[in-house]
Amino acid sequence: MINIDSVYQNVLALANKEQRGYITPQEFNLFARQAQMEIFEQYFYDINQWSRQHGNSHEYGDILTNLEEKISGFEIYDSAGLAITSSTGDVSLGGLADIYRLGTVKVTYTSQGETQYYIAEQVQGNELVKYQKSPLAKPSFKRPCYVLLSSGSGGNLAMKVYPNPDVTDIVSVDYVKKPLNPAWGYVVVTGKALHDPNPSKTTHFELHKSEEVELIYKILKLAGVTIQRDDLAKAGQNMEAAMVQQEKQ
């Protein structure tokens, strides 16, 4: 967790240097959400990149290990109780409002006497017919598969599992959850916004503590664009680029 007030005060200090402008709490909260999601999404691209390279044996210097540590706090395992439509095999993921990346899907066909789960393989919709007609690849109770799809007017994520599970069967998933939206809570006293740490108003960044500096630079860059201060945006961009370059050396 990263204290959101610490980030805000640092951003204000950098923005106010040489009278570069003031960032309101409302603006900061918008920038904070975007900056957090940019950093969070980058984790997945970086893992893909660094997994292709040789690591090292140093306890704290392996980049891939560090990335996995940063994501570990967002991993949810064996989320069960998913709604199953037995007639179609649809499994709704709408109850998992915080889902960001779907991981392993596990199916236990208790209606068929199975007592253990089997990992379902994801297939594309246009490949399903080939799987179903193949004697070796055809989905079975011990080798299920699923197709991702959207359901409902809200476009909630869902999946169709094969063979179709019964309502008494159990489908569970592992997934990476989305970080909570950060919010700098405040009260206005004599026309000035003062930080209110009450949890009903303030939500801290859920990112790893090592991301505090990058958050500050990203927010500073976004603020410069919004208040039309090219010097501020460029300063934030340059500091962010220097930090990224240092990480990749």
Instruction: Give bridge partners of residue 187 from the DSSP assignment.
Output: 194
Mean pLDDT of 39-68: 79
pLDDT at 152 over 60: no
Among the ranges given (44-58, 68-82, 160-174), the one the predictor scored with the smallest mean pLDDT = 44-58
pLDDT: which is higher, 200 or 81 = 200
Q: What is the pTM of this model?
A: 0.81
pLDDT at 249 (0 to 100): 46
pLDDT at 161 over 80: yes
pLDDT at 246 over 50: no
Q: Over pLDDT 90: what percentage of the chain?
A: 51
- Which of 163-188 are b and which e, b meaning 16 or more Cβ less than 10 Å from the residue's Cβ? bbbeeebbbbbbbbbbbeebbbbbee
Task: Report the mean per-residue pLDDT for the chain.
Answer: 85
Among the ranges given (95-104, 221-230, 234-243), the one the predictor scored with the smallest mean pLDDT = 234-243
pLDDT at 54 over 80: no
